[in-house]
Amino acid sequence: MEDCIFCKIANGTIGSNTVYEDEDFRAIMDIAPAAMGHVIILPKAHAANVFEIDEELYGKGMKLAKKLAAAVKQATGCEGINVLQNNGTAAGQTVFHLHIHIVPRYDEDTVNVKWKPMSPAAEELAAMCEKIRNEI
């Protein structure tokens, strides 16, 4: 992907603050962090989102997220961590090369990943459950 900024960063064409690198991934400091210590994990192979990425590679990325979450917690002394991975504009994705966010959290911080809970009827929930089950 010639025009993909995360391809260039992941593969080292553009420099970055790299906290970790292996043959499949580069993990870097987010340039506009939600909180200090915000790291993003970039696969070196381009995939736009969870639907496109190789299943094995996605699993490896999540395994790496666990390792780096521990390092970020130790380094920042944060009280919590959000591991986030946005897919599609509606989900807040702004760079269309899949990446996993590791966001350190504090009891009183300005990060907002909250939603207003719905109160669906039991039949509605069961119907959606069935619909999803049928797609697996």
Q: Which positions touch Zn ion (CB under 5 A)?
A: 1, 4, 6-7, 46, 97
Nearer to Zn ion, 83 or 95 (CB): 95
Q: Is 99 a catalytic residue?
A: yes
Output the smallest distance, CB 116 to ligand 5GP, in A.
Answer: 21
- Given the complex with ligand 5GP, which of 29 and 71 has the nearer CB atom? 29
Tokens for 121, please give them: 């009827």
| Minimum distance, C-beta of residue 16 to ligand 5GP, in the bound complex (Å) | 5
7: tokens are 């391809």
How is the beta sheet containing 25-29 ordered, strand by strand? 18-21, 25-29, 39-43, 100-105, 80-84
Closest by Cα among 52, 16, 36, 35 to 27:
16
Which of 38, 97, 99, 101 is labelled catalytic? 99
From the list 58, 26, 65, the residue with the least C-alpha distance to 44 is 26
Indicate which of Zn ion, ligand 5GP, none lies near residue 1 (CB less than 5 to 8 Å, by partner kind).
Answer: Zn ion
